[in-house]
Structure 1
């Protein structure tokens, strides 16, 4: 299960609306247990895909390292990633799966239709290796506890 505040949930969806018709992307920082990813911060990242930003995203390695260090300084880990699907369903694609390498992390996708956020879904990347990884549907629980938006 993915747990986050209403503020973070709204911020993720707003990010998708702001970058439409391109995909937005970001990193989720928080704490993880066997059955719960508790998000405490959603960090916006730049989409470095210039060839196909309307249907692909990529976070620069340097930016990912910077965000990971920021999280560690706060006692947080990377527990997931988010991105938008402009004018496409909030369902992972073959490319999303092929480019997902952070096992035991959540991958949140928001469908943005004509500039307006619609459905938001989360998928947990299960498995212990690249060969046996799989996406599992993950419940999103939105609560009122305070969180940070960066």
Structure 2
């Protein structure tokens, strides 16, 4: 389950619309309750999409950005709880590429952006070798 502040979703929407027609990406920061499989996201931290050749349908995160965000989160007493990205003019469901790079114990918000306007979004979690839509609760 993902618990998320409304302001986090609003921030991702702004980033998504500003980045259209390309995929934008970033990290969800907050807390993780591993015992109950609950991730809480209180902040969105955008990073640059490193995939320049296929930015309209792929994203890639530089390992240096991951380390930078991890350090930032640690300084604020937070952890990385997930990753978000957009699907310009495509549905808010994971692709095979998303699945290939997914890690357990993380939430994956995918936001669909149609004609420059953020529309739908869902959060996903890895269950075995596939994604499952996860419950979301606003905090």
Find out whether 1:47 has 2:43 as its counterpart.
Answer: no
Where do 5+ consecutive residues of structure 2 fail to align? none
Q: TM-score, length-normalised on structure 1?
A: 0.87
Where do 5+ consecutive residues of structure 1 fail to align? 127-131, 144-150
Aligned equivalents of 2:29, 2:76: Cα separation in 1 = 10
Aligned equivalents of 2:135, 2:18: Cα separation in 1 = 25
Paired position in structure 2 for 1:11: 11
Find out whether 1:2 has 2:2 as its counterpart.
Answer: yes
Paired position in structure 2 for 1:148: none
Find out whether 1:138 has 2:134 as its counterpart.
Answer: yes
Paired position in structure 1 for 2:21: 21
CA contact (8 A) 2:37 2:105 kept: no
Shift of 1:35: 2.8
CA contact (8 A) 1:21 1:54 kept: yes
What SS does the corresponding residue of 1:31 show, helix, strand or coil? strand
The list of structure 1 runs, each at least 4 consecutive aligned residues, that deviate by more than 2 angstroms after superposition, is none
Shift of 1:11: 0.6
What SS does the corresponding residue of 1:7 show, helix, strand or coil? helix
Paired position in structure 2 for 1:95: 97
Aligned equivalents of 1:8, 1:54: Cα separation in 2 = 23
What SS does the corresponding residue of 1:82 show, helix, strand or coil? strand
Shift of 1:46: 0.5
Write out per-residue CA displacement over residues 38-79 of structure 1, whole angstroms, 9 at most, x where no aligned residue: 112110110010110000001111011000111111221111
The number of aligned residues is 137
